[in-house]
Structure formats: C-alpha cells, structure tokens
Amino acid sequence: MHRMSLFRRAHGAPLAVVAVTTLVMVGALAYCGRGGGSGGGSPASAIRPGSPLGLSHEGSPSVAPSPSPSAAQSSVDADPARSPRSAGSRSSTGHPPITSWVYQLQDYPDGRLDALARAPYPLAVIDLARDARSDFFRANEIDQLHRSGKRVLAYFEIGSIEDFRPEYPRLWQDDGDLILNRWPDWPEEYFVRYWDERWWDKVVRPRIDQAIKAGFDGAYLDTPLAYEELDLALVPGRDRDWLAQAMVRLIERISEYAKARQPGFWVVPQNSPELRHYPGYTAAIDGIGMEELFYLATDVPCREDFCAENLENVRALRRAGKLVLAVDYARRAENIRHACARYAAERFAGYVTTVDLDRISPPCP
C-alpha cells in the first residue's frame, strides 16, 4: 500500500541501484498491492515551467548550499533531552518522554485505533486516512490516542503521489504536467513537481489542513528523497542541488504554515538527513524519521557506505536537539535486540517492525 524508502543512497552518489536493492525489494513489492484504480496512461512528458516555492520563476534558490552544517547547526551541541520536543523529556503538555514509537500505516483492526490506544508507546505515526484514500481519521479518533497519553503524527507524502490517493484523478486530469516519472520500485507511485505552486495548493496545503482539523500533533512527511529520484530529463535546467534546495523550501513552508495555524505542530520528515546541510532545514523541523539505520529490510545488517553517512547526519540532527524516530525492519530476535541496543546508545526513539507496517510490534525490552 504505502511506499517506504527501503534503502538510502548517499547524497550526491550515482543513482545506480545499490547492490542490496534486489534483496530489499523482493519482499517489499507486495507492500504496494493495496491500491485504487489505475491513473491511466503514463505521466505527461510536456513540462510546463513552474515556480519553486519562494523562488524566482526559472532562477535558482537564493541561498546556496553549504558544504558543511550551517551556523545554526554547527553551533548547537546541546543535549536534546533539554528540549521539550525531543526524546527523553516531558513536554509542558504532560506527554511522556519520547523514547519509543509505533508506526502503522495500514490494516487497523476494524478500521479503528483501539489497539494503538492500548499500545505502550508515547508516540504513534499513522496515515492521514484509515484507508489511505479519502476516509480520513476524525478528531474524536485522534483524541482517543491523546487520552491514552500519545502524541500522533499524520503520515503523508510531499515529493510523490500514489495513484490511489484522492487527489490523483483530478491532478491527472487538470494538472497532468505536475506528475513526473513512475517510481520503478513502486508501480503505483509517481514523483511530482513538488516546487510548483499548484502542488502546494491542491495537495500539500489541504493535507496539512486536514491533519490540523483532525487534531494531529504534527506531520510525518515522506519522500523528501524525490529530489534524488525524479527523472532529470523531465525537468530541463534543473540539477540535484537545485531540487534539494526546492525540497528544503517546501519543508520550510510546511513548517511555517502549520505552526502559524497550530502552534507546536511538529514537522518530521522521513529520510534524506543530508538536507541538514542546507540553510533553513534544521530550523524548520522538529525531528526526523529514519528508516534502516541498522537493518535493511529484512534482517540485513546495514553496512553500505550510505548507512554510515545517514547515521552521521542523524547524529548531527540529534545533537541539534531534534527528535530521531528510527525504524528498522527485522524479525530475528538477535537483530531486534541489537537494534534496540543501538537506539539506547544513540539516544534515538526506536522501533523494530515488519516492512508492511501493518501491525503493532512489541517495544524494545
């Protein structure tokens, strides 16, 4: 059903698939099976110029990336436990410390959140909609999780769209040029021109509004890695650096918009921690969700170069006071124990589960 990044490529590395991809995807492709109807046809190849958020019509973003962390990042080496929105601290609203979390995106029993409410976790990430389509969770359902002592983040994507999402048919009909290449590993999903104002108006902003209306405490934003994966041939004149900056601008805009309407609203992107090197990114986010820091799906130790790079970037965000929500995909007891030990040592909020994200797995011992 939902797409997840089951491996990370190093920032700036060639886009050839890493050696583990085949192993990772064999068990994961079934995850896309629960979808709606086909969007029909293939993405439009004609590309209309669009204006990146906050950027000139065809120019580059006004701020160039720094080869090292920005001043705001490099000057901070504080204990994240001192921050009320970081792991290991109790917030002023009385929520328990975030030392673990639960991540479930499908197969809620009877479409209800009762089991999640009973689960011994201080934070839950769930889809914005119970069916991944248009049956959005309601305020009384999110309040049920609040009453159990949980913060709740709404999962949705900002750099791509699946063809079963409710916005897709109208987007395809009216603004087909926003839809770019199909993601080969996830046949129901397409990358998009996420810097285009129409993407903000028709998809991103309404999703934020829906999350706030339902009472979510924040948003868990998937597919920032679109800047690495979309087909450059479909966006003439753009390069990966430009696309990375445009993604940072989008995340900044999400943060500003949401926090203006609901102070304290958390913004937690998933993956692509290297974006911290771009000015504005670290200040805009409250945490980061990170898949496969220690185990690739499933039970494969993460020993690739990108694993070490991801870990160093996530550690830097942790030192900057950001909550780290780590999730690894493992079934073997020894691997689960090892991942849990690493979470404790790194002071990450961790969760070990199955790649389908269709159940509530036990917390770390």
Is pLDDT above 60 for 27?
Answer: no
The pLDDT value given to residue 47? 26
Which residues share a beta bridge with 341?
none
Is pLDDT above 70 for 12?
Answer: no
Which tops the pLDDT comparison, 62 or 158?
158
Residue 224 token pair: 């920032």
Strands (DSSP E) along the chain, which ranges?
Answer: 102-103, 123-127, 151-157, 160-162, 179-183, 186-192, 218-222, 266-269, 287-291, 295-296, 300-301, 323-329, 349-353
Residue 246 token pair: 């445009």
The residue type of 122 is: P
The pLDDT value given to residue 97? 83
Is pLDDT above 60 for 312?
Answer: yes
Using 50, 70 and 90 to split pLDDT, how confident is the model at 96? low
Coil, helix or strand at residue 363: coil
Residue 106: CB atoms within 10 A of its CB come to 17
Distance from the Cα of residue 340 to its chain's centroid? 21
Kindly report the three-state secondary structure assignment for every residue of 191-246. Answer: EECCCCHHHHHHHHHHHHHHHHHHCCCEEEEECCCHHHHCCHHHCCCCCHHHHHHH
pLDDT in tens, 134-153: 999 999 999 999 999 999 99
The pLDDT value given to residue 18? 35
Peptide bond into 223 cis (omega under 30): no
The pLDDT value given to residue 72? 35
Coil, helix or strand at residue 266: strand
Residue 13: CB atoms within 10 A of its CB come to 13
Quick one: average pLDDT of 285-307? 98
The pLDDT value given to residue 263? 98
Is pLDDT above 70 for 35?
Answer: no
The residues, any chain, with a CB within 8 Å of residue 357's CB and separated by 6 or more, are: 2, 4, 103, 104, 105, 106
User: Which has the closest alpha carbon to 149: 118, 126, 122?
Assistant: 122
> What is the C-alpha to C-alpha distance for residues 105 and 154, in angstroms, rounded to an integer?
10
The residues, any chain, with a CB within 8 Å of residue 47's CB and separated by 6 or more, are: 177, 193, 234, 235, 236
Which tops the pLDDT comparison, 84 or 258?
258
> What is the C-alpha to C-alpha distance for residues 253 and 54, in angstroms, rounded to an integer?
9
User: Which has the closest alpha carbon to 160: 360, 3, 30?
Assistant: 3
User: Which has the closest alpha carbon to 215: 288, 124, 294?
Assistant: 124
The one-character DSSP state at 59 is S
The pLDDT value given to residue 186? 86
Quick one: average pLDDT of 296-311? 97
User: Which has the closest alpha carbon to 95: 143, 151, 152?
Assistant: 151
